[in-house]
């Protein structure tokens, strides 16, 4: 097996003749699964992603792609149903946030393997927010999933992440479409993905939940499963018009992101902008992975065709 440095050299040599891309992946919860479809379209059409800058879900998807394990992540996330998602929620029971995030991070580390950002074959930047100093932080070295965990710490949802003496929260708080880190790149194109774009005119319908296979659960295991399923139906039901704390927090955060994203994009125009409508999914709808991935692929097709003509 070649060493990591040799792999990186082979990668650069084998792709040097393809059109290179700096890819900016924005924040937006489950809508970030559209990033997978966009990456797949770029790869299918001969583009070489040489650099990735990501905030929140953009950092998660971009980091996993840079580590070479996006197919594994796609297969896993597409297998999740409504209540499967809830099984990864580890409640913090503190005033800093609803969830600790350790369970999902442990799952991703097991799936991808821990690696240092500086050893990845693709330049990668995770954007987070230093909440005490009120400034943007670009993480370009160190353990990949430390950077991802910091970047996804949505205030009120995930607890802040202590990293190198800083208290970090979601990068989308200050920069939901982090184009600026790509200014140092020497690539042919900068392509940015905005997950907080104008709402689409067509009203979507939420697909019915996939029925679960019956399992021989007994005793307390069956009761725990029934309890989690009940929470899932209450939390994720699209028919309930009332806003709970979780929904109110995420919608408030998204409202702020919409305004900031518009300002950032107008100030730092990429070569191509791929807009994902903000009503294409709610922040927590990870059970709609296949639909959102297909949406990303389709939007990339449309934007790249229009953007290159």
Just list the catalytic residues.
56, 170
Q: Are strands 166-170 and 161-163 parallel, antiparallel or unpaired?
A: antiparallel
Cβ atoms 35, 294 nearer than 8 A: no
The DSSP bridge partners found for residue 94 are 97
DSSP class of 231: H
What tokens appear for 91 in the block? 């409640």
Contacts of 6-15 spanning 24+ positions with Cβ under 8 A:
7/121, 8/119, 8/121, 11/121, 12/121, 15/48
Residue 280 burial by Cβ neighbours in a 10 Å radius (0-12, 13-18, 19+): buried
- H-run or E-run covering 253: helix 245-267
Tell me how far apart the alpha carbons of residues 61 and 303 are, in angstroms, rounded to a whole number.
Answer: 20
The DSSP bridge partners found for residue 170 are 128
- 3-class DSSP assignment, residue 58: helix
Cβ atoms 63, 54 nearer than 8 A: yes
CA atoms 163, 164, 166, 172: torsion sign:
negative
Phi and psi at residue 92, to the nearest 5°: -85, -30
Tell me how far apart the alpha carbons of residues 204 and 186 are, in angstroms, rounded to a whole number.
Answer: 40
């Amino acid at each position: 097996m070649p060493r990591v440095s040799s792999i990186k050299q082979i990668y650069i040599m084998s792709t040097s003749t393809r059109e290179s891309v700096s890819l900016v992946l924005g924040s937006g919860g489950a809508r970030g699964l559209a990033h997978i479809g966009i990456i797949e379209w770029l790869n299918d059409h001969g583009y070489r992603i040489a650099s990735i800058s990501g905030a929140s879900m953009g950092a998660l998807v971009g980091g996993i792609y840079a580590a070479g394990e996006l197919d594994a992540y796609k297969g896993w996330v597409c297998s999740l149903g409504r209540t499967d998602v809830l099984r990864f929620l580890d409640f913090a029971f503190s005033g800093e946030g609803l969830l600790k995030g350790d369970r999902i991070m442990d799952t991703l580390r097991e799936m991808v393997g821990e690696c240092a950002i500086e050893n990845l074959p693709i330049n990668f930047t995770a954007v987070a927010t230093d909440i005490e100093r009120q400034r943007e932080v670009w993480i370009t070295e160190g353990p990949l999933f430390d950077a991802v965990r910091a970047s996804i710490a949505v205030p009120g949802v995930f607890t802040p992440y202590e990293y190198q003496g800083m208290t970090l929260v979601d990068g989308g708080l200050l920069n939901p479409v982090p184009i600026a880190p790509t200014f140092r790149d020497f690539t042919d194109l900068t392509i940015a993905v905005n997950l907080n774009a104008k709402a689409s005119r067509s009203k979507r319908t939420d697909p019915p939940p996939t029925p679960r296979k019956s399992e021989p659960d007994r005793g307390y295991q069956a009761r725990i499963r029934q309890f989690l399923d009940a929470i899932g139906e209450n939390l994720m039901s699209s028919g309930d018009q009332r806003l709970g704390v979780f929904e109110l927090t995420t919608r408030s955060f998204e409202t702020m992101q919409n305004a900031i994203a518009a300002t950032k994009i107008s100030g730092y125009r990429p070569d191509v902008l791929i807009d994902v409508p903000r009503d294409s999914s709610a922040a927590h709808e990870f059970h709609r992975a296949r639909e959102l991935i297909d949406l990303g692929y389709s939007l990339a097709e449309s934007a790249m065709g229009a953007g290159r003509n």
